[in-house]
Structure 1
């Protein structure tokens, strides 16, 4: 008996593992196809998942609501926090706060009252559950659409900063509404107090765990593999630690991730930084891909569970709510951007007035995605008595999926054309000058160190003198580019061709390594070491401005 049970469990594990591996393979293939077609991969995966779900024989995939937040949210939030500039986040804290908190609460409230008035037997508490689910835009969707487009840095910084905080505020609204629906009790002042308590304590717990991990990274003999493993453990420690005490795991993960990211130069070696970055990019890409394709794959099952609500009625509700969420965001961004300039002299003196075109793009970049899906799937199947089905759950999920689809397809596909039509360009001229200035400072410091510490070697040894001459050329080139940037001097014009030649030389070296492999004279370890050197050299050349 025990053997048969074990075998059944083993078969179930193998079946589930095969589904997961198949999903990962499909996500990778579809992403390559989306790049070929030049369509943002979240949009392409959602549509592809929907089409795949109608193929006969495709297994139905369902996720346990309790596992959705735990599996997907911590690493995605942590990675977003890790790659967010604290300097930019703090610089744009006012617009980020107005979008991530003010707009989320405003959107959730508007959706709650609209759905309550429009949908039969849809209570206000259900409306707030739905509003909490669909109120936060998704940064992955927006940044993947904007990737490669020349837009002002302010737009990207605001969208990325907003995504860090709006997830927490929307989930708190969602949980307060869910608790109200489950208990039947709602006290406004208590809900507001709980909002601030859950937020503040979540941040405190996240920072406390981050400080402990900082000490481990800083003072314990870790390796690059251990450092990378700890970065994957960190978001789950922060999230689960805060959730255990019923505080915001989202804010715990975000605050801890921001702290460790800010301190990463102190605690990680170059090996740890490179390895962890490559591993994280791969894992987060796969997690995002799975979530977006699951949106499409699960829609047919949700349609079957609509019950007394017809598909056409449900689609009508969802489309109206989608349009309202888009309009609300556009109506919010303009007053929240320009009123501070009108009302505050300090803001007028310290901040340039952003053009309306960039404000509109921030407003139009409100695509919904991963967090909305996770929140929707996390709606419990039953009420607290475990016998009564959660009211209108399938309709809430259906509306959530349609809002994600509607905003991704409509806003995501039109965004590049709107940017071109509005003639929005990158304001990266100052950034290029900063890049040149930083390179100048680094080269000057290196040259100064060589002259003061290795002066005799520079005079007597050819290798030292050649390196000194190289840094002197770098300093001369940087100075010329800074002085003659406006006139496009000949000295600045030769650099692209010079860099192209260096990349070609790397390619020649790779071909020669291939010949050495075929000769089978030198050890594989030695050849692999040289190949890694070429990888680093090519990465440096291709990433240079």
Structure 2
């Protein structure tokens, strides 16, 4: 039994990896291919039967996915665009969940309003990974990606709180507004406090105990589970605990992690998030046949109709909300006009069209309990799972496949300012200037006497000269040094030649393997810097 389970898990990981390679080849965002693969797997006859405990799904998948999203979010950028982010992440989520609740209650027979809010809480949060992978490589305003990532971070928390309250209402059959409001603030504030408290404890461990890169990386993997389980133990929001703790840990990471830890943890986390995303979509594909067979008397045609209506509704609601939300505050608030630049309609439309649903919605649906407290089957569980999968399928395929085309069609990239490019050049200039000041104050005699020191000083002097020239020539792009792309290619070819020679040394078996691996790491770091 254990061997079969391990074989299934390893097979799933292999399939996910193959699909990712195929998505790179086809230049398609990998969540789109994963959801299509999940659908394809469900059509395979005699596929293995998979039964997952709902509690296990929530605990295994959600904490690391939320923590990774929080870790990769810039607090400064998040706070800069806090108004549009909170308008999307809280108000739009509540508006979407409420609208879907009433529509689902109206069109689906014997579907209670509490179940409607449960479904609304599941499908209301867009997925940042789907949007950012589609937009990756496109020259779009930084504001768009910042808002989408910040929104996804918070709307996961807000939607899951709606989900939890709706789930409690289904179990108890009671909903009192004032009690729900009090519980909402208690659960939310308690979760944030728990996350920040544990984040501080983990920070002290990293800062003052003799850890290694391997131990630091292991602690970052343990942290989200610790935050989530501790907060849930005290009946607070584990989701908000992970988000708050992740933001705090990310903000403090530069003080406690060295270069080796950062390189190692980044690689480990990117692999983990990728695999978790893939496994969830494959798992739903394995469960779809049983879900379809147990649709509780509904015809497949009717269920697909309900799912398509709700899918289109989620798209339309977002478009209806985003445009007034972007422009009405500017009309009524002088402060908003003074603080925020006016977004173009093209940028607003891209934000509105980037509402693809993803892995958090799927994990939430899979976490619905199998039975009620009295032992009866949870009402319409399979129907909710099926609708959730179709919503993800429709939004990922329809919006995901068309998003990059719309960006290019509307020339959104032309609106992207040069501020980020200028900041990058200014950063390099300041760093090079600081190095020059240090060399002149601490190593002036060595520079004058030793050629190696003088060459280093000359290199940074040239960096300052090029950075100054680029900053002055930003208004005229034709003046940017034409040799730089060829120069970068030249340096990469030199790295390739060194790798080839290193490979020859391995075959000679004359040199220490450890030294060869260290040299290879140096080449890896150099190539990463050049390609970046």
TM over 0.5: yes
* Residue 481 in structure 1 maps to residue 470 in structure 2: yes
Aligned-residue offset at 1:517: 2.0
Aligned-residue offset at 1:485: 2.8
Could you tell me which residue of structure 2 aligns to residue 419 of structure 1? 407
* Residue 407 in structure 1 maps to residue 386 in structure 2: no
**Kept in 1: contact 2:473–2:479 (CA 8 A):** no
Aligned-residue offset at 1:384: 1.1
Mapping for residues 493-532 of structure 1, pairs under 5 Å? 493-532=482-521
Task: Give RMSD over aligned pairs.
Answer: 1.2
**Kept in 2: contact 1:47–1:296 (CA 8 A):** no
Aligned-residue offset at 1:109: 0.7
Aligned-residue offset at 1:152: 1.1
Aligned-residue offset at 1:488: 4.1
Larger deviation: 81-90 or 523-532?
523-532
d(CA) in 2 for partners of 1:320 and 1:345?
39
2:160 to 171, 190, 197: 171
**Kept in 2: contact 1:477–1:491 (CA 8 A):** no
Larger deviation: 482-491 or 342-351?
482-491
d(CA) in 1 for partners of 2:23 and 2:343?
33
* Residue 77 in structure 1 maps to residue 70 in structure 2: no
d(CA) in 2 for partners of 1:98 and 1:335?
11
> What's the CA shift string for 1:430-468, capped at 9, x where partnerless?
111110110000011011111111111111111111111
**Kept in 1: contact 2:35–2:393 (CA 8 A):** yes
> What's the CA shift string for 1:513-543, capped at 9, x where partnerless?
1222222222222222211111111111111
d(CA) in 2 for partners of 1:428 and 1:232?
37
Give the TM-score taking structure 2 as reference length: 0.98
Could you tell me which residue of structure 1 aligns to residue 8 of structure 2? 19
Aligned-residue offset at 1:489: 6.2
Which segments of 5 or more consecutive residues in structure 2 lack a partner in the other structure?
Answer: none
> What's the CA shift string for 1:194-233, capped at 9, x where partnerless?
1111111110000000000011111111111110000001
* Residue 249 in structure 1 maps to residue 238 in structure 2: yes
**Kept in 2: contact 1:43–1:409 (CA 8 A):** yes
d(CA) in 1 for partners of 2:381 and 2:504?
63
Aligned-residue offset at 1:491: 6.5
d(CA) in 1 for partners of 2:378 and 2:281?
25
Could you tell me which residue of structure 2 aligns to residue 65 of structure 1? 54
Could you tell me which residue of structure 1 aligns to residue 44 of structure 2? 55
d(CA) in 2 for partners of 1:126 and 1:132?
10
* Residue 357 in structure 1 maps to residue 338 in structure 2: no
Secondary structure of 2:413's counterpart equals coil
Rate the CA distance shift 1:487–1:103 in 2: closer, same or farther, 3 A: closer
2:26 to 37, 50, 64: 37
d(CA) in 1 for partners of 2:31 and 2:179?
38
User: How many residues are matched?
Assistant: 531
d(CA) in 2 for partners of 1:294 and 1:354?
40
Mapping for residues 28-427 of structure 1, pairs under 5 Å? 28-385=17-374, 387-425=375-413, 427=416
**Kept in 1: contact 2:187–2:236 (CA 8 A):** yes
d(CA) in 1 for partners of 2:247 and 2:285?
32
Aligned-residue offset at 1:428: 4.6
